[in-house]
Amino acid sequence: MGRRRSLPHVNSADWGVRMQAERQAVNFVVQGSAADLCKMAMIRIFSQVASSATLTARLVAQIHDELLFEVEEPQLQEFALLVKRTMESLQHIDSLGVHLTVPLKVVVSSGSSWGSMSELSLPETPACP
């Protein structure tokens, strides 16, 4: 997705230094791509909430690959399904040439506090082609 990182020690003669640079290269791709997908999800979810006449959810925090929203109880099922479908749809982003072969699986939980969170049972979202 256009990210670049300089790894000057990737060709180092020192085995330990070279291996660290190689690990950083792999982690950079995995973690950077996950961060990009999470940011795209936040933007898409915000856009859908902003254009909705009924949804009033708001993003409270992003922690690594998790998004924490504040949602009114009557909107919970509708919003949870929107979040799940939106995040899982990022498996294929034609405009960026992203076509992941491993499905993105999203688990949605709810609770009045982090300590009381439990997984919501939502219908399966259709697999992307």
pLDDT tens over the chain, length 129 residues? 677 889 999 999 999 999 999 999 999 888 888 888 899 999 999 999 999 999 999 999 998 888 999 999 999 999 999 999 999 988 888 877 778 888 888 999 999 988 899 999 887 766 544
Distance (Å, rounded) from C-alpha 129 to C-alpha 120? 25
Q: Any idea where the domains of the chain sit in the sequence?
A: 15-119
Query: In which residue are the tokens 């070279």 written?
Result: 18
- The type of residue at 85 is R
Distance (Å, rounded) from C-alpha 42 to C-alpha 16? 38
Distance (Å, rounded) from C-alpha 70 to C-alpha 79? 10
pTM (predicted TM-score):
0.78
Coil/strand/helix, residue 107: coil
Is domain 15-119 in CATH 3.30.70, yes or no? yes
What is residue 57's predicted lDDT score, i.e. its pLDDT?
A: 96
Q: Which two tokens stand for residue 48?
A: 């859908």
Torsion sign, CA atoms 50, 55, 61, 64: negative
